[in-house]
Each structure stands twice: as C-alpha cells, then as structure tokens.
Amino acid sequence: MAKPVFILNGPNLNMLGTREPDIYGAETLDDIRANCSQRAKQLGLPIDIRQTNIEGELVEWVQQARGQASGIIINAAAYTHTSVALLDALKACDVPVIEVHLSNVYKRESFRHKSFVSPAAHGVICGFGGQGYLFALEAMASILSSDNQ
C-alpha cells in the first residue's frame, strides 16, 4: 500500500470557523478534513490529517514523515513565521513539501511575510481558504506521479 500524504496543521487551526471568520472564513477544520478526504480518494492518495497546538509535536510528525509518508502538506500557522526547528525538520524529511495558508499572508501584517517553511517547500499556496488544501493535494499527486516515472 502506498504511503500516505501527511496533512499537518499547526496552532489554532482547530478553532477554524469561530476564530476570526473575517480572515479565515466559516469553514471548520472538520470541513477541510472531509473535503480533503473526498479529493484524495478521487486522486488515489491515502492521507493522514493531523492538527496540533504544540510545536514539538509538529516537528515530531515531520520527522515521522521521512519513513512513513510520501509527502507533506503543511499549514504550520503561526509556527511558519517563528520555527527554525520546523524548518530543520522539513529540510531533513526527504519527501516533497507543500506549504498552505488559508489567508493571503502578503495582505496581512509584515511579520507574516517571512516563512521558515518556504525554503523547504516545493511550493506555496495561500489566500484560497480551504480550497488551498485541495490545490495542494492536486499538486502533490502531480509531484508524486512524476517522481514515480
């Protein structure tokens, strides 16, 4: 059986739908999970969706991906802008990484313009709400397909 794509979510994403809906929308993390599961099934990709508010746990999941996942789709949330530990883990994981953000970080505060995830990512998708995860799944399917040829 193929290794799953890890879809990793960082702090406060468990509060989607109620936290700053003017920025993040009304969609919940459960809605995103359901949509990702449906799209991944259509693409023939097994997925493993996780969320944590703890930086170290997110780093451990990235480390696990090295042997257990075919790729990582990550919305590191606030850790995107602060975590060198996460960057180091992503650089060492040896699987394709796609960075996702619900909002357009470049329309927001300037501190959000710096990403510690981006140097390890194949690409970045931001500003499309939950649909960005679906775009990331399609991109990951393409990356994995071209890697297997």
Residue 17 scores a pLDDT above 90: no
Catalytic residue status for 101: yes
Residue 40 in contact with residue 46, Cβ under 8 Å? yes
Mean pLDDT (whole number) for 13-28 = 85
CATH 3.40.50.9100 fits 5-147, yes or no: yes
Catalytic residue status for 106: no
Residue-wise pLDDT for 91-143, tens only, equals 999 999 999 999 887 777 676 668 999 999 999 999 999 999 999 999 999 99
Q: Give residue 62's pLDDT band: very low, low, confident or very high (50, 70, 90).
A: very high
What are the domain boundaries of the chain?
Answer: 5-147
Of 79, 81, 101, 113, the catalytic one is 101
Of 24, 79, 106, 113, the catalytic one is 24
